[in-house]
Chains A and B, each alone.
Chain A
Amino acid sequence: MDKKMNDLLEDFPILKEMINDEKLVYLDNAATTQKPKQVLDTIRYYYEHDNANVHRGVHTLAERATKQYEQVREKVVNFIGGNDPHEVVYTKGTTEALNWVAAGYGATHVHAGDEIVVSYMEHHSNIVPWQQLAAKVGAKLKYITLTADGQLDLESAKHVITDKTVLVSLCHASNVLGVVNPIKEVAQLAHQHGAIMVVDGAQAVPHMRVNVQKLGADFYAFSGHKMLGPTGIGVLWGKKELLAGMRPLEFGGEMIANVGLYHTDFKEPPYKFEGGTQNIAGVVGLGAAIDYLTEVGLDNVTAHEKSLSKYVLPKLQKIPGIEIYGPSDPDIRTGVLSFNLTGIHPHDLASALDMDGVAVRAGHHCAQPLMKYLGVGATARASFYLYNTKADADLFINAILEAKEFFSNGSF
């Protein structure tokens, strides 16, 4: 991939932005990624040439828009290793997808006394919907613990998942710890106990080859904007029979088969979930993002991120007073690096890095239970993606050293 790297960088106009008079070093990819020209152009082309509402008109434009909207469903299903485009439901993003599973599936399939299992490393969007569901139906929410180096503890999973468990929901990759979870093993455990496996794939699909069937997932959610696509579009993949038994949460146009005065029959999945005019341009943009990632090759993306993390991790580890969360072995890490520097609050650090053009996240990363588990209030987080370079990594390390100097010696 390095050979194509220069061409690739040209695809992302925003990377040329100057931030506080410095070249932008964008390391907040776990929050959202930048968009290549190919995605932006595709969305623009759609609006300039094909824009119409889908599934409604008989006119040519409506047909063209509908065709693209449905073609992307096929792209999505191929991209994540499913086999039926009707198992792909468009959502606003991962959060909406997980909420729909909780409220649309959980509300009728999880009962008083049942157990829902998540882990300590989950994003709030994979905790709060289950808390709400558990409170509503009288179910119990349980947490799988982590190993000392921040990996999912399979031994704990074996104890926490029981015959009372009806649903297990885990992130495929952590947005804080930089680990990839053994979904396949946990799914097997869940299935042995008659539970279904829900996966939050927001931090995985952009970065690695995912096969929902091989993983043994029953529901799998991810977002377009974290994989070069636009905001406001995401996917809930679900097994056909589960989607069939899941209630829609948006009622209105397009999702109905027949509306009487007092009763309405819904369409078959996925259409019964897609009420109202959908984010069609978002879908088209997601399709372009999938095309782009497919052209680069997901394995190349993974390898590139791994090489960056192998390059930057030892340099980071050498900085005195640094604590890095998650495993110290770069071989089992993704491009997400969360850390703290003794005596410097992550907010102060992030402001300092910003002055050097380096964009990182500081805060609790929507994972307050994990922060509590780690015994920290907040961390700084740098997250790398396919357009980041070793030069970016060097600028990042230098900016940290400069910030450290600034705050400890007080060069003000």
Chain B
Amino acid sequence: MALSKLSNLYRQVIMDHAKHPHNNQPLPQADHEIELRNPTCGDVLTVQLKIQDDKIIDVAYTGTGCTISQASASMMTDQIKGKTTAEVEKMVLGFSDMVLGKEVPDMERLLGEAAILQSVAQFPARIKCATLAWKAAYQAIEESENDD
């Protein structure tokens, strides 16, 4: 069956995250927020961050989208919580390289569970779905740095 290749993309852990996303609610105490749109499908994702002393104290997201964008957002929030802004920026760039099919040193350590989204590299049309939440987090951090 031709759908066997599809299983590479839609792993169980990805499906679980999409069905039961983590940190998928508004974050009232957030001090930075970025709304991003996937221009190809119109999906909208809002990522909210609480940043203190260059550290991600809390993070959450709202919005709907496809399995890949939801799972990726859910994993992103899990992975960046408690990290420093510098670490997160490095993670976002690593994640972006990973889904573009580039070699990322120490990928599993850098991205944790989100490294499973490496399979997106085989589905170029879905890269934007996967990177949306990460881009939003990156932009929110940039915004926080501009405030300083």
Interface residues of A (CB under 8 A from B): 20-22, 345-348, 350-352, 354-357, 362-364, 368, 371, 377-378, 402-403, 406-407, 410-412
Contact = CB atoms under 8 A, between A and B. Distances in A.
B129 interface: yes
Contact of A363 (B41, B44, B64, B123): B41
Interface in B39-81: 40-44, 64-69
A378 to B, nearest CB: 4
Interface residues of B, number: 26
B12 A347 contact: no
Given A347-B41, A411-B7, A412-B6, 4 more contacts: A21-B2, A351-B125, A362-B41, A364-B41
Contacts of B10: 348, 406-407, 412
B86 interface: no
A345 B65 contact: yes
B126 interface: yes
B12 A412 contact: yes
B68 A356 contact: no
A376 B2 CA distance: 29
Contact of B123 (A351, A364, A378, A406): A351
Interface string B1-22: 1110111011110010000000
Contacts of B126: 347, 351
Contact of A346 (B1, B15, B41, B44): B41
B68 A355 contact: no
Contact of B11 (A346, A355, A406, A412): A412
Given A345-B66, A347-B66, A412-B12, A402 B41 contact: no
B131 to A, nearest CB: 14
Contacts of A355: 2-3, 5-6
A40 to B, nearest CB: 26
